[in-house]
């Protein structure tokens, strides 16, 4: 048992050295978005449709951008399935309301998203993972993963964090 722990410790320490990069010439500055700013932003989104807008998109170290998006979805507007054909992972953090989110599975009646070659839509998902999402829940959706709000229990508000290694998001 002791040899296993020592081996694991040596491996962990050596991995840290390999994973580190040189610090930037100018130290980065942290970005903060207050709860008040987030709620004000979401409150100002249109209420007659799904709104998914960038609150902030910044450059980070490691040659990557990250976006923080506020989303409002009115009651009854589940929308169709989304599949983003990119490596951007989406991290959902539910703020208000409750809904059923389905991920993975097989697309039912897929079709190209209007105006984009990096996105596919579909009418539904078969054999996906279904979960009820409530305030405080976090769901991590890797790029290329079908996802769909199949049922809403009223309006919902949530944040989406989008790490963007392809630098497709516009800085804000």
Is 92 a domain residue? yes
**Backbone phi and psi for residue 37, each to the nearest 5 degrees, phi listed first:** -65, -45
Which domain does 93 fall in, by range?
35-164
Most distant pair of Cα atoms in the chain: their distance: 62
Does 29 map to a domain?
no
Question: What is the helix (H) or strand (E) element at residue 84, kind and residue range?
Answer: strand 81-84
CATH number at residue 145: 2.60.120.10
Model confidence over 52-87: pLDDT tens digits? 999 999 998 878 899 999 999 999 999 999 999 998
* Residue 16 located in a structural domain: no
Please indicate, yes or no, whether the overall pTM of this predicted structure exceeds 0.75: yes
- Is 9 a member of any domain? no
Question: Does residue 122 belong to any structural domain of this protein?
Answer: yes
**pLDDT the model gives residue 20:** 66
State the total domains in the chain. Answer: 1
* 14: in domain: no
Nearest residue to 34 (alpha-carbon basis) of 74, 72, 68: 68
Residue 143 lies in a domain: yes
Given the DSSP bridges, would you call strands 156-164 and 90-96 parallel, antiparallel or unpaired? antiparallel
């Amino acid at each position: 048992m002791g040899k296993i722990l020592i081996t694991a410790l040596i491996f962990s320490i050596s991995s840290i050295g390999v994973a580190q990069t040189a610090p930037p010439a100018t130290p980065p500055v942290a970005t903060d978005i207050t709860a008040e700013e987030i709620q004000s932003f979401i409150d100002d989104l249109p209420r007659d449709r799904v709104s998914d807008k960038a609150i902030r998109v910044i450059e980070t170290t490691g040659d990557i951008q990250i976006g923080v998006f506020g989303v409002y979805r009115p009651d009854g507007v589940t929308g169709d399935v989304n599949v983003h054909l990119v490596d951007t992972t989406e991290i959902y953090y539910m703020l208000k309301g409750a809904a059923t989110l389905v991920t993975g599975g097989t697309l039912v009646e897929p079709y190209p998203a209007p105006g984009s070659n990096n996105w596919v839509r579909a009418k539904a998902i078969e054999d996906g993972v279904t979960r009820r999402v409530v305030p405080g829940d976090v769901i991590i959706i890797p790029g290329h993963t079908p996802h769909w709000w199949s049922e809403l229990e009223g309006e919902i508000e949530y944040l989406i964090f989008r790490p963007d290694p392809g630098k497709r998001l516009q800085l804000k």
